[in-house]
Structure 1
Amino acid sequence: MNRTTLEQWLTLKEVVDSGSYARAADKLNRSQSTISYTLSTLQQRLGIKLLRTAGRRAELTAEGEQLLAQARVLLSGFDGLEQNARLLLQGSPLRINIRIDAMLPKSIVFNALKKFNQIYPQVHIELVEILRGETANALENAGGDIFLCADLPEQWVSESEYLLDIPFVAVAAKQHPLLQLGVPLTFAQLSPYRRVVISERLTRDKRPSRQLESQPLWSFSTFDSALQAVRSAVGYGWLPLELINPYLQQGELVTLPLITGSTRYTPIFLVFGKPQSQVGPVLREFADLIREQVKGWK
């Protein structure tokens, strides 16, 4: 049987943190004599002196510092346990599965997650990037709690919320032959050259010039691989502006001077993996944080 209680350790913590018995009594809504008795009982049961008086302040002994450090971990875990119980009572999950489109700027997601962790430190996060054509399958098979993605199935559009447009810019390595043809460029001039693509479904512009339909393609499943291919001058392609911006600024990549269509836009939507009526406060909080970050990004 344990000889001490969480209440006793909590009392010790508050006395140390506040610096006096009186302030701890106010914080815990107890009398000063009760605080004193609780700590006296704790020390008697342990057989160790935990506190000493230094002027008007209560300070830990060396033994008290070591034991309170361990007690803080237990108290924090107990607070987390109670928070988890409150979340479950509200119908909120203790684990959130987030699906994001690979093109979504990571700063939006991670800035939101940082703030979310301050509010719900006990909630576990599982974040998965969605590749080509995976959105529909994940939604249909309840593969996530919240989605930040493009390419929504038609039946989910009415449940979604538009967030932002991701700009894709036509670029090539500075040594690519296309940049030696002069300006402006037409789609007919692009057709003999290899185009690097992620997926045709990722772009809103689904009406490329017919001259491009038979041109050689290199298709990749990730944006990083596509970027490396373009940087290697094996082809040109439309890539997310945020991803390529550092290389544009360094002059390693150059925007293709097309007559039209040098920039395309892909919309990103927010949609929950369950009906709105079943979405708890934890998911709604995360969605609000995403909206806040999107406003700052725009």
Structure 2
Amino acid sequence: MRLKTTLEQWLTLVEIDRCGSIQAAASKLNKSHTTLIYAIKKLERQLGVQLLKVEARRAVLTEDGKSLLRRAHSMLEQAKVLEDMSNQLTRGLESEIVIGIDHLCDRQWLYQPMAEFLARNNTTSIQVVETSLSKTTSMVRTESSDISIITLPITNHPSDTFGMVSMLPVVSLHHPLAKKLNPCLADLNASRQIVLRDLGDETKQDAGWLKSSQRITVDNFDHAWQATKQGLGYCRLPKHIIDKHNDKEMLILNVEHSNRYQVPLHLTLPKGAKTGPAALALYQLMLASADKRI
């Protein structure tokens, strides 16, 4: 397919519209007034449509010109994206990076630096994969992710401190445990517990207190919160999730000898020296964000 027009012609029309006159656009583009008039006249002949008209001694877009220019903006933006992508590929930037985030992590800890990264990089796509227990470890060991937010450091994979998550026992105010002033572990043992499933495909792992006689197993903390709020059982939840909901219908239990525990989170690069520049850039932003937070 052969096109009648060029991107340069549309860029000229865009600049005339932005500057408000041919003379101002010519100055901005460092071209002569005559050159721009010739370019627009040629574009009008090629399209068979009048694009500019004179009003109060100024060149302004016709209605047809405005309609075409609205569509041209999208075309020009796509052309710019192609050039940006080519430049990034030339520098070896990845077209996509994968981030594994352990389900204990506050998602804001990831998305805040990611927003800063995307403001500087409009070509690299990002996959975010939620992990837990064995899947968190597996994604690192198999190098399935470019960046991973993990709990404990994994053998032969250097890591940096990323944060600390407090785990608190929570029930609905309507749950029988809520009526006990200082429930003990025996009370928990006799109550239904809501726990998180290991999202891995291989050898499953367990963590934390799992001695309750009956359990409800769910995929993530969103389900766990809803089940707990429904009064189906008690659950250990990250403090940042409890704070986010700030629900007066939920109660943090003061369990004897087991009130709270903390889980450290770390940041690691599963591919090590093979990590691409885009992933490294986001990794550094995430570390900088953690330094401000910790």
Normalised TM-score (structure 2): 0.84
Deviations 1:54-105 (A, max 9, x none): 3364321111112212221111111010111111111111122222122222
Secondary structure (helix, strand or coil) at the match of 1:286 reads: helix
Secondary structure (helix, strand or coil) at the match of 2:156 reads: helix
Deviations 1:152-174 (A, max 9, x none): 42222x2x221111221111221
* 1:30 counterpart = 2:31: yes
Closer/same/farther in 2, CA of residues 97 and 57 from structure 1, 3 Å limit: farther
Counterpart for residue 193 of structure 1: 191
Equivalences for residues 59-208 of structure 1 within 5 A:
59-156=60-157, 158=158, 160-183=159-182, 185-198=183-196
Q: C-alpha distance in 2, partners of 1:213/1:250?
A: 25
Counterpart for residue 53 of structure 1: 54
Deviations 1:226-267 (A, max 9, x none): 2233223332221012222355x4322111113444222222
Secondary structure (helix, strand or coil) at the match of 2:17 reads: helix
Q: C-alpha distance in 1, partners of 2:140/2:114?
A: 22
Q: 2:236 aligns with which of 226, 232, 238?
A: 238
List runs of 5+ in structure 2 lacking aligned partners: 200-206
- Asked whether the equivalents of residues 131 and 222 of structure 1 are also in contact (C-alpha less than 8 Å), the reply is no
List runs of 5+ in structure 1 lacking aligned partners: none
Amino acid corresponding to residue 53 of structure 2 in structure 1: R
Counterpart for residue 216 of structure 1: 213
Name whichever of 69-78 and 284-293 sits farther off. 284-293
- Asked whether the equivalents of residues 169 and 234 of structure 2 are also in contact (C-alpha less than 8 Å), the reply is yes
- Asked whether the equivalents of residues 193 and 215 of structure 1 are also in contact (C-alpha less than 8 Å), the reply is yes
**1:269 Cα deviation after fit:** 1.9
Secondary structure (helix, strand or coil) at the match of 1:154 reads: coil
**1:25 Cα deviation after fit:** 2.8
- Asked whether the equivalents of residues 194 and 216 of structure 1 are also in contact (C-alpha less than 8 Å), the reply is yes
- Structure number having the greater helix percentage: 1
Normalised TM-score (structure 1): 0.83
Q: C-alpha distance in 2, partners of 1:142/1:213?
A: 30
Q: C-alpha distance in 2, partners of 1:288/1:55?
A: 55
Q: C-alpha distance in 2, partners of 1:35/1:230?
A: 68
Closer/same/farther in 2, CA of residues 101 and 200 from structure 1, 3 Å limit: closer
Q: Quote the sequence identity (%).
A: 26
**1:151 Cα deviation after fit:** 4.3
Q: C-alpha distance in 2, partners of 1:66/1:200?
A: 54
